Amino acid sequence: MRSFPRSAALVAAALTTILVACGTTAPVSPTARGTDASPPAPSASASADPAAAAAYGTAICPLFDRIVNLDPRLAAIRAAGDEGGDMTGYEDELSALADELRDIVNALDEVPTWGPGRRLQLEIMGTLHLIRAELLSINEDLTAVDTADAMAALPYIASQTMDREMARAVEGGLTCGTDE
């Protein structure tokens, strides 16, 4: 699997997109999608089944909140890795993060299938699984010489692909209202 470096601005933009879908009023940064700032057009079948979109949103939107809440904890792990030193004190946090990621991936697997959101769902699942695998690998030996470097290089949740797929889902009818 090929990995790409992701900047803090990209993470913020993708998380902003998730928050917008969840009903906040934050603007979406078109630069997070790369050179193609326009979201993909929804398919005719996407808007043809509002009940499917609603079921999908009801299942996935609470998971977005859980993901957004994980990001600062993952950032703290990266920052600790950047600082170096003794990483053995992070064993419990790495385990807790891995458990939370597992639970979110399992919950994402239970989200009802909905065409405009399926690729978003799969992208999030793959990304969280990758991060979880890295956390578990790091936690196998926190005294290893490269532990701090591995923590600093922990993958980010956000990506241009995820941002694009979120835009596709929102254009297809995904809404995460806060007044429900």
pLDDT tens-digit profile of 139-176? 999 999 999 999 999 999 999 999 999 999 999 999 99
How far from 61 is each of 14, 26, 120, CA to CA, in Å?
A: 15, 16, 12
The answer to whether 179 and 25 are in contact (CB under 8 A) is: no
CB atoms closer than 10 angstroms to residue 50 = 10
pTM beyond 0.85, yes or no: no
pLDDT tier for residue 178 given thresholds of 50, 70 and 90: low
Q: Is 129 left (phi over 0), alpha (psi -120 to 50) or beta?
A: alpha
The string of pLDDT tens digits covering residues 97-154 is 999 999 999 999 999 999 999 999 999 999 999 999 999 999 999 999 999 999 999 9
